[in-house]
């Protein structure tokens, strides 16, 4: 991604909000540091998913609109729709869309994924993407920040809801791209199969080459035949804590510009990225 952020027009920011440069076609995004901000998983999913010319994409749980904005910048897709349940995030996403002059290509809808039929029609999209909550609602620690809790835990919707509603929204032979945790891969594969989607591609994401994978990128095809391609692993960090050349490429940087991070700075960044 490259380009210097240049807002199309002046945008009113609410207290605590900031504009982050996406380093992509001059686009920016409005975020609030005390609420849920996008992490590297969204960047990886935006690079993994493909939206072809004349295709329409739906993002389930769009947050502040990071995936529609990035994928509108990176793909020739015709139109992008994001669905989000939190009104504050919907408002930020809509203002970011307007700020970037993308109103003709991106719509942000307020709605509940578990009841998606109330906001989008069945079979209306060629591509569905989702970076859903990773942890079940009953999972140990519950974040005391309600916005972050909804983004991280299955409070408003479950993994089964995301898969079933995503399948419903897809046209036949439509593609479903998701990023999730490897420990839930079995649930995802079974859920896809039960909803008429076959897993066609999978890529494990490792924080370091000597560590266990932390994320998995998955591509499913509605009405597809069995047969999956296991793609080569993606490693995020070099041993010194800098991004690998491939990840830097996704962020629009070059390896030579990377400066080794201090241990504490690196730790805080990894915590933020989940």
Is residue 226 within 8 A of residue 196, CB to CB? The reply is: no
Pairwise CA distance, residues 209 & 217, whole Å: 17
Mean per-residue pLDDT, 118-147: 80
Please give the domain boundaries of the chain with CATH numbers for all domains.
38-272 (3.40.50.150)
Percentage of the chain beyond pLDDT 90 is 73
The backbone torsions φ and ψ at residue 143, rounded to the nearest 5 degrees and listed phi first, read -65, 135
* 219 CB burial (10 A radius; 0-12, 13-18, 19+): buried
Cβ–Cβ < 8 Å for 49, 127: yes
pLDDT digits (tens, 9 = 90+) for 100-115: 999 999 999 999 999 9
- Would the pLDDT of 265 be above 80? no
The pTM for the full model equals 0.86
């Amino acid at each position: 991604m490259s380009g210097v952020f240049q807002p199309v027009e002046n945008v009113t920011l609410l207290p605590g909000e900031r504009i982050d440069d996406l380093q992509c076609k001059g686009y920016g995004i409005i975020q609030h540091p005390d609420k849920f901000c996008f992490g590297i998983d969204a960047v990886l999913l935006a690079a993994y998913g493909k939206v072809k010319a004349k295709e329409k994409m739906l993002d389930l749980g769009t947050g502040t609109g990071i995936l529609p904005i990035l994928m509108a910048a990176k793909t020739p897709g015709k139109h992008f729709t994001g669905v989000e349940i939190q009104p504050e995030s919907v408002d930020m996403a809509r203002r970011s869309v307007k700020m970037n002059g993308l109103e003709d290509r991106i719509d942000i809808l307020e709605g509940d994924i578990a009841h998606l039929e109330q906001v989008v029609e069945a079979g209306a999209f060629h591509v569905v993407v989702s970076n859903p909550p990773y942890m079940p609602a009953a999972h140990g620690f519950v974040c005391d920040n309600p916005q972050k809790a909804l983004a991280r835990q299955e409070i408003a919707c479950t993994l089964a809801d995301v898969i079933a509603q995503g399948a419903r929204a897809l046209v036949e032979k439509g593609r479903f791209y998701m990023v999730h945790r490897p420990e839930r891969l079995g649930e995802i594969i079974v859920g896809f199969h039960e909803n008429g989607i076959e897993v066609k591609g999978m890529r494990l994401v490792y924080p370091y080459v000597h560590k266990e994978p932390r994320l998995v990128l998955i591509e499913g095809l509605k009405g597809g035949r069995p047969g999956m391609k296991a793609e080569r692993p993606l490693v995020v960090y070099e041993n010194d804590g800098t991004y690998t050349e491939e990840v830097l490429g996704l962020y629009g940087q070059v390896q030579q510009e990377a400066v080794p991070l201090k241990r504490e700075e690196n730790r805080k960044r990894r915590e933020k990225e989940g």
